[in-house]
Structure 1
């Protein structure tokens, strides 16, 4: 390819590496990134705020399994997207942010230039796996390939590449062809054999599946069936084992009394999970038995939940190899009983309902009637906290929640990115009245693109979770009530559909109709809908 400005060459390179969609906003500092987009055949999604670009890239990545890419301007553009990058970092999502930065001669000088930051590279590095500056075309190409290689071979986390404005406009040769991608690290055969021996010798084996094990769901399901193992999943791992499976506890780790169930196991096998605070809401898993722990990230294997058999390797191949080793082997009958697990699940659902009333009834009404293969994107709201525990899931990788960083405003833009990534399949957003207002402007993107997107907005008229926290801490509640707009009128002002059902049956009909609507539908739900 003939020499072109580097900004254009980056688009061509991304296209050659499989990138078809980029999210962003053009600005005076990053216009060169836009020179080659159409020529390269990349679709650009114009967002309303750079935080939306980051969240849409995140949602696109979660929905497709491919990296999400966003183009950002120097300074405030990058800063606006840093919340989304922090969320992608904590939830292991492959997002590539490419931004401009000041001309080479101005970096770190402090001349009061437009969009100037003291340390833009360092700021982005605080919420990304890494952040580097490309001072020439060759370095930019190496960094793009470094990001793509690490997305494919390591724990996927966001990367940031910044390119000086003058470098973006400099004519350079095309990027080299993509090289071979190395394989992800695999567990050693002797480690898998040891795990198989431990598993076959256990009477009450318990698997804990996290988001890192999603790709190994088929093997995981056969393993628990063959071995009579019980299973628990994290929110990210929800659906790896069907909620209908007889020995599946589901996503119950955050229930304080789950430690009593975990303590029943005589072997715990934790696969692809960080066992973090936002998984457990306590310091320790609660097991008393030996543990096998499998993870692609060595950092996770060295935390407070130490395993007697730590295994560094990709979860899916491990599960497949473990299945091959135990298939056909004679083992003692499992001591787990379906009744004890179903009784525990019912108790945990009751606890969730008592802690945050009304929501369980809605989930029980909607969950079983959702279209096949629906993917959900949720926000930091009490509705999502309950639904994450009780919503029935048959497939893995279909419930996406901002678990780690815990940012508000995630659901709407992430669901838009998810719907763009899988346009023919159903996607639904679940948000709260306060968090929705963080990113509500992205409703314009969904309208502009004609996305059939149900947006369930749970409106309890306050920051209810924070109010509950204050009461529990014996603090008089304050600053937890804000005047809300007329949400339906607001949605219609953007050109979206809007419904405010008054009872559960009307809610069911509104949600189902929204999947086939011409454009997004805001469904305004208050606690009164349960008694309507």
Structure 2
């Protein structure tokens, strides 16, 4: 049905037609016509205190829910504030739609000092997302939204930016709201399926490496691993794709020697939905003497970092289902289970040694989160040395972590998005003292929303990772120590509960109380008490 709508209303109506009921953003002079339309279409706006927080919250929403998140900013500095979050979403293959006004259609090309003027904000965002598109007519807006959602559902999910000239937001025109474009999942080519089946069926020592791209195929991946008797290791974003207490689960963390040894010994490796990226491997690529079979929805990604012997460019669930359908009867799974048990024991020993300073923390977190919880972690030592490999996960999309770009400040706003997407699940944010200061203002957002959200801050007095790297290089250690901040006092000033825990039992009790509280609770934990 065609209606005469303003550009702002056309945008919101199109979002609603695509299932959007929540956006994260801050009103500004140039996006007010969009805000005027939100409530009329049943779309809730969550107002973070900074646009970077809005982007991270939309990212957390998308990761936890499996649906695209939406970040709405105004022009210029607001959109550029969100650019880091957009780059993080692109790095970790998260579908987030970034929306902003742009300067007017007839704005002088060389600029004239207009409010929030940026030389070329569309180009700035285009550098860090899948694509950035500037519409030029009100009538185009619904189609642009439909195209963006279709793009985020095609192949590897990536963020998209739409720019709408601010004069179009108030302009009226006859508009037809486009229905969502059906995007069928990409099926694998049968010759590659048969080739992969022959290799896997004949393999004596198969191994599965699962990344974030396997999150929607967890059940099928488990069935195939059991059929093959194949140990399963996961990347950070794949954590929980196979429950950590499954007999074939080795754990998360591709950088450990146990994983490298397991893969080196394998005669077939099935890598599903992973780039095999340096940010997951840390210390160099995997040695892959066996046959490498890669499953990836992205034709470019399927050859990244390691050339496959057999490539299945396809949706992970469809590819794994096709492999199962063509697989002969299962053989003896006992040898695979024994290999998984040995590798898991070695992996956990290495993980415990690496994360020894944070084992009490991870035990307390495990007790609080149970089997259904979500941890939103920051790029902090407590997360990548502690929680990544030592915190058990039982479901996909339960470990939200800024892997590739490695941004600071992600955890708290991402936890807000995750809690709004999954209100029934226990959600905890994990930060270091340095990283929290990048987005500490989002405590006020969580307090305004009355979220029962524990925010654990592990305090090592500064940027501990960089301090250690300076020391390891034999260089002067400087510019990394941060003066003491009374984080519980800061939290209380923003409407949260705030307290300090000095050992594991205190932390465990604080987490349980925080999950039942009437507002967020910041828990300040000295690093000496995290072990």
TM-score w.r.t. length of structure 1: 0.96
Work out whether residues 275 and 305 of structure 2, in 8 Å CA contact, stay in contact via their aligned partners in 1: no
Work out whether residues 227 and 334 of structure 1, in 8 Å CA contact, stay in contact via their aligned partners in 2: no
TM-score w.r.t. length of structure 2: 0.96
Residues in 2 aligned to 1:34 and 1:327: alpha-carbon distance in whole angstroms: 57
Residue 229 of structure 1 corresponds to: 230
Cα 1:372–1:244 shift into 2, 3 Å: closer
Question: C-alpha displacement at 1:319, in angstroms?
Answer: 1.3
Residue 261 of structure 1 corresponds to: 262
Residues in 2 aligned to 1:86 and 1:32: alpha-carbon distance in whole angstroms: 27
Question: C-alpha displacement at 1:365, in angstroms?
Answer: 3.8
1:402 aligns with 2:402: yes
Residue 165 of structure 1 corresponds to: 166
Q: Describe how 1:270-309 pairs up with structure 2 within 5 A.
A: 270-309=271-310
**What is the RMSD computed on CA atoms of the aligned residues?**
1.7
Q: Describe how 1:338-357 pairs up with structure 2 within 5 A.
A: 338-353=340-355, 357=356
1:435 aligns with 2:432: no
Residues in 2 aligned to 1:322 and 1:244: alpha-carbon distance in whole angstroms: 25
Work out whether residues 461 and 484 of structure 1, in 8 Å CA contact, stay in contact via their aligned partners in 2: yes
Residues in 2 aligned to 1:253 and 1:27: alpha-carbon distance in whole angstroms: 44
Residue 472 of structure 1 corresponds to: 472
Residue 492 of structure 2 corresponds to: 492
Residues in 2 aligned to 1:2 and 1:329: alpha-carbon distance in whole angstroms: 59
Residues in 2 aligned to 1:158 and 1:407: alpha-carbon distance in whole angstroms: 16
Residue 383 of structure 1 corresponds to: 382
Question: C-alpha displacement at 1:332, in angstroms?
Answer: 8.1
Work out whether residues 216 and 320 of structure 1, in 8 Å CA contact, stay in contact via their aligned partners in 2: no
Residues in 2 aligned to 1:338 and 1:378: alpha-carbon distance in whole angstroms: 27
With 77-86 and 193-202 compared, the bigger mean Cα shift is at: 193-202
Residues in 1 aligned to 2:184 and 2:530: alpha-carbon distance in whole angstroms: 51
Cα 1:179–1:507 shift into 2, 3 Å: closer
Gaps of at least 5 residues in structure 1 are none
Residues in 2 aligned to 1:487 and 1:316: alpha-carbon distance in whole angstroms: 44
Work out whether residues 5 and 168 of structure 1, in 8 Å CA contact, stay in contact via their aligned partners in 2: yes
Residue 448 of structure 2 corresponds to: 448
Residues in 2 aligned to 1:155 and 1:183: alpha-carbon distance in whole angstroms: 13
Residues in 2 aligned to 1:11 and 1:404: alpha-carbon distance in whole angstroms: 32
Work out whether residues 371 and 393 of structure 2, in 8 Å CA contact, stay in contact via their aligned partners in 1: no
Residues in 1 aligned to 2:319 and 2:259: alpha-carbon distance in whole angstroms: 26
Work out whether residues 363 and 390 of structure 1, in 8 Å CA contact, stay in contact via their aligned partners in 2: yes
1:61 aligns with 2:68: no
* SS in structure 2 of the partner of residue 178 of structure 1: coil
Residues in 2 aligned to 1:202 and 1:172: alpha-carbon distance in whole angstroms: 62
* SS in structure 1 of the partner of residue 523 of structure 2: strand
Residues in 2 aligned to 1:107 and 1:516: alpha-carbon distance in whole angstroms: 55
Residue 23 of structure 1 corresponds to: 24
Question: C-alpha displacement at 1:94, in angstroms?
Answer: 0.7
Residue 114 of structure 2 corresponds to: 113
Residue 367 of structure 1 corresponds to: 366
Residues in 2 aligned to 1:323 and 1:499: alpha-carbon distance in whole angstroms: 51
Residues in 2 aligned to 1:204 and 1:395: alpha-carbon distance in whole angstroms: 26
Cα 1:102–1:352 shift into 2, 3 Å: same
* SS in structure 2 of the partner of residue 36 of structure 1: helix
Question: C-alpha displacement at 1:252, in angstroms?
Answer: 2.8
Residues in 1 aligned to 2:379 and 2:334: alpha-carbon distance in whole angstroms: 42
Work out whether residues 150 and 180 of structure 2, in 8 Å CA contact, stay in contact via their aligned partners in 1: no
Residue 191 of structure 1 corresponds to: 192
Residues in 2 aligned to 1:374 and 1:252: alpha-carbon distance in whole angstroms: 20
Q: Describe how 1:89-108 pairs up with structure 2 within 5 A.
A: 89-106=90-107, 108=109
Work out whether residues 433 and 484 of structure 1, in 8 Å CA contact, stay in contact via their aligned partners in 2: no
Work out whether residues 108 and 119 of structure 1, in 8 Å CA contact, stay in contact via their aligned partners in 2: no
Residues in 2 aligned to 1:342 and 1:208: alpha-carbon distance in whole angstroms: 14
